[in-house]
Amino acid sequence: MPGTYAGKLLRINLSTGDIKVEEIPEEYLRKYIGGRGLASYYLYKEIDPKIDPLSPENKIIFATGPLSGTAAPTGGRYMVVTKGPLTGTIASSNSGGFFGAELKHAGYDMLIVEGKSEKPVYIYINDDTVEIRDASHLWGKDTHYTTDKLREEVGIKNAKVACIGPAGENLVKFAAVINDKHRAAGRTGVGAVMGSKKLKAIIVKGSKRPKAASDEFMHVIREKTDTLRKDSITGEGLPKLGTKVLDNIINQNGLYPTRNFQTGVFEKTHEVSGEALVEKGYLIKNRACYACPIACGRVTKLPTGLEGEGPEYETAWAFGADCGVSDLNAITEANFLANELGLDTISTGATIACAMELYERGILPKEDLQNGPELLFGNSEAIVYYTKQIAYREGLGDKLAEGSYRFAESYGHPEYSMSVKKQEMPAYDPRGAQGHGLEYATSNRGGCHVRGYMISPEILGVPEKLDPQSLEGKAEWVKIFQDLTAVIDAEGLCLFTSFALGADDYRDMLAAATGWDITTEELMKVGERIWNLERMFNLEAGIDPKDDTLPKRMLEEPMPDGPNKGAVVKLDELLPKYYEVRGWTKDGIPTEGKIKELGLEELKK
C-alpha cells in the first residue's frame, strides 16, 4: 500500500448487520486520490443516482484522504459523501476537527454505511474491533450530550464522535453531521441521510498513525507549514480573526448579502464583525483542528455564560446580515443551537431570511407563524426561535425544514429563495463577483462557495487580483479553482491552505506521502476527473443543466447600492464559455471524448 493510505475500507450494512473490511486497489487510489474523489467513485459505482436520498438504497461514505491523519498541515479533514436530500445532487460535505484523523488512525481510508437499521444505532470502531450498537437511549438527544455520553459509555475519554442531533433524526433537509461537538459536515443535508438510516453516531478510536513512503515527507511538510505561517491570510488574518476576518472586507466591497440578498451592504457590519467578536469579549481563545497551523476556530462565550465555538463568517452572516440582525448575542446563541441540534447554519439562517422576505411582502401569512415571533428583518428573537423549531419540525419549522426553495415554492414564490439547485447561497452576493457567480451556478452540490472560491482572486487578490466585474478569463479561472478544490478535498486537507499553497505544493505533499512519481499535471487531471464524475452523477440523477443558474434577483435585479450598484451577474455570457472550457457540449453535457480522456467510461450507466 503506498505510504500514508490505510489501503482498506470498512463496509457496514445496517439492514443486515454485516461488517466487512475490503482492500482498496492502488489503481483507484491513484485515479481518485481519496476523500471526495475516491468516495464519489464508490458511490457512483454502487448506487443508482436516481434513488431517493432518504431511502435505504442510498449509501453514506465517510472518507479520509492520503494526508488525513498525517502531520501535513490541516491533515485532519474528512468528507461525507452521499446523494444529498436538499439538492438531489451528489453531496460531499467536508469537516475538520479530529474525527477524520482518528478514522484513519483506526486503519480505514473510508467507511461506507449501507441500508437502514430498524432501531437507532451507533457504530463503534476501535482499530479492528467494529460493532453496531443500540442507540435508543440517545435518540432525540443533542450532539453535545451524545458525544459526552458515548465517550463515557465506551470508556475512552478522547475517542472521536461524529453524530446527528434532532435535526438529522427529523430528516431536516439541511441537517448536518457534527463531529467533535463543534465541527460540521454542514451542507447538503448529509445529517438527514444518517437520520434516515437510524444511525445516530459513529465513535472511533485508532492507534495507527500512517507512515509516509518518502523520508522527505516531514521536510516537505515543514516547508509547506512554513509557507502557511508566513502568509498574510493563513499566518495572520485567519489566526487573528478567524473566518470573520472577512466581514468588513466583503461588506466594504459591497457584496455582503443583506436581508435575503436585497442589497450587498449591511449598515451594521461593524457590530458583528470578527473585530467586534474580540472587542466585545466573546472570544476566549483560538482552537485548531488536528495538525492545523492556522487555528481559525474560535472558542467563545456569551455574556450569559454559555460556551461554545463560533460563529464563523458564514454563520454570523446567515443569522446576521441576511436576516438583518446585528445582535451578536442572538447570532452566537443561534450558532450554538445549530451545532447542538445538528443544523447547517448557512441554510438555516438563509431559510429564515427567505421567510422574512416572504412575510414582509405579505406572502407568508401571520397565522402560519403559529404564534411564533414575527418574521421581520432585524428580529433577533426570530433567529433563535425558528432555529429550534426547524430542528424539531415544530410549528412553521416543519415547512422551513424543507429549505428555502421548497418553502418559498409552497407559497408560489420560489424566486425569493436565494438558492442554486435548491441549496442556499452563502455570504457573497454574486453581483459583486462575476466569477463567483459562475461558480455558484455550476457547483456540483448547489449554491456553495467552497467548490471554487473565486472570492480569493476577485476580492482578496489571491493568487492575483482580478477585476470582479470583468468576464475575461473567468470561465478558465473557475475551472482551475474547481479542479484544484477537488484535489484538496481528495487529499484530505483544508481548503484554507490554498490561500498560501498552489497545485505544486499539493503535488509535493502527495508525492512524499505516497512515494508516487506524480506530476502536477496528473494531479490536476484527477481534479478534473472528480468534477466530471460528479457532473455525470448529477445528470443521471435527473439534474437538468438548465439548473446551472442563479436566482432571478441575481440575474435581473441590479444591485441597488454600494460599490456594485447597478450590477447583475452576466451568466448568459459566462456559462457558454464555461461549458466550452470544460470540453462539454453547449448544453453542458460532458462529451464522449472528455469522458474517455478522463477514463470515466466504466461509470457511465
Which positions lie near a second copy, rule CB under 8 A?
71, 98, 105, 158, 206-211, 213-215, 218-219, 221-222, 225-226, 229, 288, 290-293, 295
> Grid coordinates in use for 305?
455564560
Closest to a second copy by CB, 231 vs 458, is 231
Query: What's the closest the beta carbon of residue 511 comes to a second copy, in angstroms?
Result: 14
CB of 299 to a second copy, least distance (A): 13
- Minimum separation from the CB atom of position 297 to a second copy (A): 11
Q: Measured from the CB of residue 291, what is the shortest distance to a second copy in angstroms?
A: 4
Q: Determine the Cα angle at 97 with ends 442 and 460, to 5°.
A: 45
As given in the structure block, the three cell numbers for residue 221 are 511538510
We find the least distance from the C-beta atom of residue 131 to a second copy, in angstroms, to be 22
Sequence-separated (6 or more) residues with CB below 8 Å from residue 563: 252, 253, 254, 432
Angle between helices 503-514 and 217-230 (to 10 degrees): 150
Residue 299 vs 471, nearer CB to a second copy? 299
Q: Which of 387, 333, 15 is nearest to 175 (CA)?
A: 387
Does residue 318 come out as left (phi exceeding 0), alpha (psi in the -120 to 50 range) or beta?
A: alpha
Beta strands 60-63 and 19-23, pairing class: unpaired
* CB closer to a second copy, 125 vs 425: 125
Shortest distance, CB of residue 113 to a second copy, whole angstroms?
25
116 vs 208, beta carbon nearer a second copy: 208
Specify the residue, 98 or 359, whose C-beta has the smaller distance to a second copy: 98
Q: Are strands 419-420 and 423-424 parallel, antiparallel or unpaired?
A: antiparallel
Residue whose CB is less far from a second copy, 71 or 375: 71
Q: How far is the CB of 293 from a second copy (least distance, A)?
A: 5
DSSP assignment of 563-599 equals: TTTT----HHHHHHHHHHHHTB-TTS-B-HHHHHHTT
> C-beta of 79: minimal distance to a second copy in Å?
20
Give the nearer residue to a second copy in terms of CB position, either 6 or 60. Answer: 6
Instruction: Find, among 24, 9, 6, 41, the residue nearest to 130 by Cα.
Output: 9
Give whichever of 213 and 523 is closer to a second copy, judged by the CB atom: 213
Q: Which three cell numbers stand for residue 10?
A: 470498512
- In whole angstroms, give the CA distance from residue 166 to residue 191: 10
Q: Which residues contact 540 (CB under 8 A, 6 or more apart)?
A: 49, 50, 605
Contact 35, 64 (CB under 8 A): yes
Backbone angles phi, psi at 223, to 5 degrees: -60, -45
Smallest distance, Å, CB 281 to a second copy?
24
Our CB check for a second copy shows the closer of 225 and 347 to be 225
